Amino acid sequence: MPRLKCEPFERNYSDQGCDVICFEKNLIYILEIKQCTFNTSDANKAVKQLEYTEQWIKENHESLKMDNISKVKIAKVFIHDKRSGCKTIRQALMKLRREDINYKKMGDDELTTSAYNTYKQIINNME
C-alpha cells in the first residue's frame, strides 16, 4: 500500500476549511479532527469545513499539482480523538452519516494516525 502524504490544509492552501488533507494515488482525503466530546455543533462545523474544502479542491486542483481532477476521488473523513473518556453524541454521528462523511476514531488505521500526527504538528507550531 502506498504511503499516505498528509499536510495541513489551512496553512498550505486556504485560510479556512478542514484541518488536514492526505493524498494517496487518485484519492484525496479531507479530514476534520476533533479532540474530546463531539456534539451536533461540532458536526455542523465539520460539515461546513469539509464542504468548503471539497469545493476549493474542485476549483483549485492545479494548486495540488493534479491535472485531471475528474479522475480523483475525494473522501470526507471526521476523526475523533476521544482517548480521555470523552463522549460522542449520537445526533452528531447521524449528521455526519447524512452528509456522507466517514467517522473514524483516532488510531483506527494508518490514515487516522498519519492525519493526527500532522494535526499535532500544526498545534505545536501554533504554541
Residue 100: predicted pLDDT? 96
Residue 53: predicted pLDDT? 93
Residue 1: predicted pLDDT? 42
C-alpha cell read off for 68: 485531471
Residue 26: predicted pLDDT? 82
* pLDDT of 119 strictly over 80: yes
Q: What is the pTM of this model?
A: 0.84
Residue 7: predicted pLDDT? 86
Given CA atoms 11, 13, 15, 16 in this order, what sign does their dihedral have?
A: negative
Q: What domains are defined for the chain? A: 5-126 (3.40.1350)
Alpha carbon distances (Å) from 10 to 2, 16, 19, 32, 84: 24, 6, 6, 11, 27
What is the average pLDDT score of the chain? 86
* Chain segment 67-114, per-residue pLDDT in tens: 666 778 999 999 998 777 788 899 999 999 999 999 998 888 888 888
